[in-house]
Amino acid sequence: MEHAVHAAKPQLVKSRAGGWLPRDPAHTAAWIARLRDAAKGQDLADVPPIADFRAMVESDQTLYNLAQAMFARAYQLAPTTPLGQPSVETFDEFLTLLNLIMTTAPEAYQDIASQQPAGLIGFPINALLDWPMATEPGYTFFSNAVVNQLFKRILAYWSQFLTSPASRYVLTEQPYPVSPTTEAVAWLSMAAQQEMVQVAMSALGDGANPTPDRFQSIFNCIPGAQYLGFSSWDDFFTRTFRTGVRPVSAPGDDSVIANACESAPLQVVNNVSASAQFWIKGQPYSLGDMLAFDDLAPQFTGGTIYQAFLSALSYHRWHSPVSGTVVKAYVVGGSYYLENLYEGFANPGGADPSAPNDSQPFLTAVATRGVIFIQADNPAIGLMAVIPVGMAEVSSCEITVKPGDRVTKGDQIGMFHFGGSTHCLVFRPGVNLDFHFYGQTPSLDAINMRVNTALATVL
């Protein structure tokens, strides 16, 4: 097993980490243009939660001014794509396009000429807000508690479609052009399946890689059945591994901590403060805010945080990193489209091109997230916490365990729905950890490590 020295704070580089938006902005521009074309000639009525959102913003002069300013400022500042389609121009246009998204599911794309993968719009709402949320008015707007409450209702409304059979069209729909160079392809097409297989097979981990080379051998599904037996887009998105594909490292050794998610390591930070100005440029962790000021939070002051991010094309369930007993488990409400102000246009190096990727440490304190405290059987670990953090479209952090439950290392404890995310493991001071990154350095350029593989050893 290879061990890597972990840094306190790696440089976060510009990247479309996780693949939630295409690396080529032309593909996102083409998607927005097609959404605009679909809206032309239609007299679309707002769906109920969007109507309430519009009415609330228009009735509050301050919020209305912020909404108008963030789109105007983004239109002025955002780079123009190769197709000449800049960002969404107005708040009213955003709401029109948002209504269309309520009956669509995320699409996968490929290059027409090469027939190679070209990315996906895994965050369709984020694609519309990518540049507006990077402005100062956008930061203030998406910090507002009422705005986030109403966005939660919009995302819940959308989830009704994404969990319905109607959302399965993207699984089997035939390829169709979305631009002169790109076409949308079915998620269950051979091209898309092969890309998902490649992501699963390339994940790093302890020992031999047990990943098969076929989608139907990796994931639980019904070969030969329509939609491979998936009942909805969300059922496909939250698909599970077949038995044996992700074995638990050292199942009988409580000194080995397992990777809680199929995810890429972002950073490890030691001696974390109880309280910090997490909104500043450096994005320090603030334990009190992360843990929602729980009465257990002070036990972690001076401890260690490990953070990793999930890929759009991989597995989105969480597993227990240790054997022990669940002490507390709950979801903390928070923001959906907020990024660190200094990762937006205030950054001299330019705004994050796929917000909120560069804001992941900041999001641990402000975004909707789960908090799961586990009392590990190993006294050298003791009380630890798992914090799955929803990013953008993730309207549901679903916890599947409850206080008092016994968990064995590798047991499922919850899942993300509908979109991409990040997560943290939090350890108390005095827990001496040797992390295993399998030859890579934690950063936004890292690749997935297998869920349930050895992540760290307690020394």
* pLDDT tens digits along 135-181: 999 999 999 999 999 999 999 999 999 999 999 999 998 777 766 77
Q: What is the token pair recorded at 203?
A: 């994940």
Residue 37 is predicted with a pLDDT of 84
Mean pLDDT of 29-36: 79
Contact 120, 109 (CB under 8 A): yes
Q: Looking up tokens 């669940």, which residue turns up?
A: 326
Maximum pairwise Cα distance, the chain: 66
Q: Quick check: 52 and 150 in contact, CB under 8 A?
A: yes
Region for residue 172 given its phi and psi (left: phi exceeds 0; alpha: psi -120 to 50; beta: otherwise)? alpha
CA separation for the pair 218, 209 (Å, rounded): 12
d(CA 83, CA 96) in angstroms, rounded, equals: 22
Classify residue 114 by its DSSP letter.
Answer: T
Task: Judge whether 423 and 310 are in contact, CB under 8 Å.
Answer: yes
| Cβ pair 249, 453 in contact under 8 A | yes
Share of the chain above pLDDT 70, in %: 86
Whole-number pLDDT of residue 173: 85
**Using one digit for the tens of pLDDT, what is the confidence trace for 131-147?**
898 899 999 999 999 99
Express the helix, strand and coil content of the chain in percent, nearest 5 each: 30, 20, 50
Q: Which residues pair with 386 in a beta bridge?
A: 372, 425
Among the ranges 75-79, 229-233, 387-391, which has the highest mean pLDDT value?
229-233
Q: CB 425: neighbour CB atoms within 10 A?
A: 24
Residues 37-47: tens digit of each pLDDT: 888 877 789 99
| DSSP H/E element including 412 | strand 412-417
